[in-house]
Structure formats: structure tokens, C-alpha cells
Chain A
Amino acid sequence: MTRKKTNLSVEIGGITLKNPVMTASGTFGYASEFEHLMDLNRLGAFVVKGLSLEPSKGNPPPRIVETACGMLNAIGLENVGLKAFEKEKLPLLKGVNTPIFVNIYGKSVAEYAELAARLEDIGDVSGIEVNISCPNVKSGGIAFGGYPETAAEVVRAVRKRSTRPMMVKLSPNVTDITEIARSVEAEGANSISLINTITGMAIDVETRRPKLANITGGLSGPAIKPVALRMVWQVAQVVKVPVIGIGGIMTAKDALEFLIAGASAVQIGTANFINPHTAIDIIDGIEAFMVERNISDIANIIGTLNLSPR
């Protein structure tokens, strides 16, 4: 008996991914860091570390703290800047057949737009992820993603200068995430990824100092998964563009929860630190789940939350 081929491919705002599993910005470096540990070709896509026009030093240490079922980070978007990214990091990925999303951020609306425009000329970039949600930088990031008006302003400016598929990454640190989602969709976002980290803090009781030099940081890991799942479900109901679920995904089962809630794809973040092979294990796990249940197409999982009476 020949088994029907299982279709894991999904369409994410203008890009077809061979499977719905991506790696999240800031947790996968520039991808080449992981090439000895896995076959990068197997990933649905990867999103490289948040990029700015100029190199950025990031926050002073200590930058990370372990917490219950997760971690806090306050890296502060340390990155090599556009020039070094193009000349030094991107060439390392030559021959890798996986779409590359570049996560971009700026200190001003103009900077976001300028960076997006400059990326137009770089051939190996498949799409951009607009980061309006980093909680660890003073200007940029969450300063824009916190309100529908400012979020819309960034997306509008980027859209004017960029023809690339545009994913917009939202912050959970807002009153109503669906409002922000609607506003970025209206300005031309091709897909919406959520959630970025949840702002948190930790204190050393002996010294009474914050454990992070930045005082507050972003919480990630399985601790935030229920919050992320709830927000993905809410957003998926109010927008037409594909939603990408992020937040504490460690296993195929976690990923499937997000897909059922309405995400067309997922991003694996903190789990890459714990087990660099997580994304591959999740792809295999989703496929095994489908084969066991005779589900031939991943589309038959996405957005199929069962709300009929129990």
C-alpha cells in the first residue's frame, strides 16, 4: 500500500513554506550558528536576529535570568548592523534552501522604512519581520507596538518602501492585542507574528538588586505559552492575513495547539537554546501526528478549534 504524501506546506503572506515551523528572531542567531547541529534546509523558514541600520551594542550584563519554566532576557537587540549582516552573515547561508526573514527595528519610523528599503536590494532575503515589540530598548520596539496608531505608522512607512512579504511581530504587553493586529493589517502587513516576550523582572533578595542590569526583561519559554495561545486565538479571529504563533513552544503538541487555534505557522524561540534540535523534532512530530490520524493536509488542522457543546 502506498501512503498518500502528507502535505505540511503552508502559505504565509506571499511565501510558501515547506512546513509551518520557523525559528524565532533572537533565538537562532544568523542561523549559521546552528548548521553543525541540524540540517537548516529542513526548516520552514528562519527569522534572523533583530537588525538595525547601524550596529548596536545591546544592554550591559547580566542580560538573562532563569525563571520557573522560562527565562527573562534583556539583550537589548545587540546586532552587527545592516552592512556586516550583508557582507559577513548572509553569505554563510549560501546554498541553504530555506526562506530567510530579516527581523528589523529602528529608533524612528524613518529608520524602519530606510532599513526596509535597503533590504530590497539584497537578493537572499525572502521577507521581513517588523519588530514593533521589543520590550528591552528605550526607543523603537514596544514604543511603537504599544498603540494602534504608532504601530500603523511604522507599518505604513515600511510598506511604502518595501515590496517584500512583511510579517509584523506584536507585543503582548498591550491592553487589546486585536486592535493592534487590525491596525497593522489595514496598513498592509502580509502576516502577523505573536507574541514577543512578556515584560517581567526578578530580584536577588540578598543584594536586593534586580537580577537584570536593565531591571526589567522579557519573559519567554513554556511559562508564557497559555498567554500566547490565547492571544493567537483572539487575533486569528479578527484578521484575514496569516497569523504565526510564538510563545513557549517546546513540542509538536504545543505547535499543534497553536495551529488549531488559528496560526498558519509557528516560530520556535527559547526552545532552541534548550535543545537546538527542537524545530526539527517538531516538524517530525507534526508529520507523525498527521500520519497517525490520516490527515493528509496541514490545512485540515489550522484554525479547527472545536467549540461545539461538550
Chain B
Amino acid sequence: MHQEKAKVLWNREVGPEYYRIGLTCDEGYSSARPGQFIMLRFPGRITPFLRRPFSIHQRILTDGRTTGIELLYKVVGAGTKMLSRVQTDDVVDILGPLGNGFSISNAYKNIYIVAGGIGVAPMVFLASYLEEMGFNPSRCTVFLGGRSTDDLLCRDDFLRIGMKLHITTDDGSAGDQCFVTHPLETESEKRRPDIVYACGPLEMLKCVVGIAEKYAVPCQISIETMMACGIGACLGCAVERKGASDNYMHACMDGPVFDADMMKI
């Protein structure tokens, strides 16, 4: 974990209100794991006051070395609005890589990845990481959902790797008109995966966890909470454990990826 001033390599709009920003960074990110995040701040600015957490979307490689990271974000508030206005060569202050990341076992054969809306951000890193680890992409299935076709991002990233893709939208403008959990359930019934990885809106995650429980499949979810520091000092990002417990977990240190059977969702 370290703090550094990162130069902006690019900041491109990739859809309505969706952007990809490339940042130079230290070699320390070569050991970053999918699911880990960074805390970003605009140097010298008092507003927005707190750092903003962003999961790592991709590593940027130059001659096989990690020379940067890319974030994928949606403009949802003052912080992301300001980020969308950042120009190439501007500098942002980043702290990372933080958190635990998805845990991956070599024993997994069939892997399901579920992403809703901007929840796809860490899943592209996960997909390319699985590819690097030698997993057979044809046995990885991605369930990608969004409100409409504009909210479906990174389709090509998964297809390029060779993963199977199920697309759903709320309005039917692309793929099947249903929730992303619908094909997840159908496919789970046909063939149980060894693991389900999910990131997206809370309601989607609840449903994914329900399906994983129903088919007795391990499930890891990446969650979002309010947090101030990202390093375990503020204790703002408390996450309730499943069942009675004497303490909370914290999204910054124990997460942001949790085993679904550990947390109360």
C-alpha cells in the first residue's frame, strides 16, 4: 500500500456518464489483485472532502510491466463529476492497492461472473486475471446486466478473452429483457459452477446470494460502503456478519470482497 501522485494518461467517456481513466502508478500495483481498490483525491481541493474509493478496472502494462491502472466509473455525484472533468496530464492523489480482492482456487473449473451496471468495473480485471492464471475461458460465463444497452459496458473485454456472455437489460434494449439473475438461475440449474463472483447493486447481490445458496455454490461478492480512509483507521465501513456476533467486519480491510456466507446481506 502506498500513496502517490498519479498522472492522468487519459479520461475518456465510454458511454453516457461512464468514463475510463488511465493513471500512471508505481510498480507496487504489479501485485494488485482483482477486487482491490484505491482511494482517490484531488490534490489541493477541499471539496469533495473525502477520498473516493474505486475498484481497479485493469492494469496498464508496458512491455509486460505494470505502469498504470485504469478505473471505470459512472458519474453519480460531486466526486465522480469532478473526476470526469480531469484532463490528460493532470495529477490525482491515489492510495492503494487496498482491500483483499477475490480469492481464486486452481481447483475451480466452471466459474460464473455476475456484473450489474457499473459493478462490471472490477470484473474485467478478474476476467483477465483468470485468463493469465490459465483458466479455460470457455468454462467462464459472464452474466452482464444493465438498465439499458447504454449501461452494458465491457462486453468486448469478456468476448475477447473468449468467455461466454449472457446479456440482460431492464428495458429490453439489448439481450434478454429481465434481471441478470434470471439467466444466472437458469444456468445454475443446468450446471452448477464451482464459484460465483458478483458485483453490482445491493438488490442484485441479494438475489445472486440467494441463488448461490439455493444451489449450494460458493459465492463472493464485492460490496460498496461509505468509507473515509480505506486503511482501517476510521472504522466507518462496518459490515455486519451473518448471525449473532460481537464485532463488525470492515469493507476496507476484510473486504471489499466477502464470502457471501460470512456477511449479512
Contact = CB atoms under 8 A, between A and B. Distances in A.
Contact of B248 (A28, A33, A49, A58): A58
B115 interface: no
B228 interface: yes
B236 A75 contact: yes
B261 to A, nearest CB: 19
Contacts of B82: none
A270 B240 CA distance: 24
Contacts of B208: none
Contacts of B227: 64
B227 to A, nearest CB: 7
Contacts of B232: 29, 33
B229 interface: yes
B236 A274 contact: no
Contacts of B226: 61-66
A273 B233 contact: yes
A61 B41 contact: no
Contact of B2 (A37, A65, A272): A37
Interface in B7-53: 41, 46-51
A154 B12 CA distance: 58
B233 A55 contact: no
A63 B46 contact: no
What band does the interface of chain B fall in when counting residues whose beta carbon is under 8 Å from A? 20 to 34
A272 B235 contact: no
B194 interface: no
A57 interface: yes
Contacts of B51: 273-274
B247 A37 contact: no
A181 B247 CA distance: 35
Interface string A273-288: 1111100000000000
A79 B120 CA distance: 35
A73 interface: yes
Interface string B211-238: 0000000000000011111011111111
Given A276-B3, A276-B95, A69 B238 contact: no
Interface residues of A, number: 38
A34 B238 contact: no
A58 B234 CA distance: 12
A265 to B, nearest CB: 20
A221 interface: yes
A36 interface: yes
Contacts of A65: 226
B203 interface: no
Interface string A222-256: 10000000000000000000000000001000000
B239 interface: yes
Given A55-B247, A61-B238, A66 B3 contact: no
B238 A63 contact: yes
Contacts of B1: 36-37
A71 interface: yes
A78 B95 contact: no
B228 A71 contact: yes
Contacts of B235: 26, 49, 58, 63, 75, 78
Given A29-B231, A61-B226, A270-B228, 17 more contacts: A34-B231, A37-B1, A55-B247, A57-B247, A61-B225, A61-B236, A63-B226, A73-B234, A78-B247, A222-B46, A273-B228, A273-B234, A274-B51, A275-B3, A275-B93, A276-B229, A277-B3
7 contacts: A37-B95, A64-B227, A64-B228, A274-B41, A274-B49, A275-B3, A277-B3
Interface of B: 1-3, 41, 46-51, 93, 95, 225-229, 231-240, 245-248
Interface of A: 26-29, 33-34, 36-37, 49, 55, 57-71, 73, 75, 78, 221-222, 250, 270, 272-277
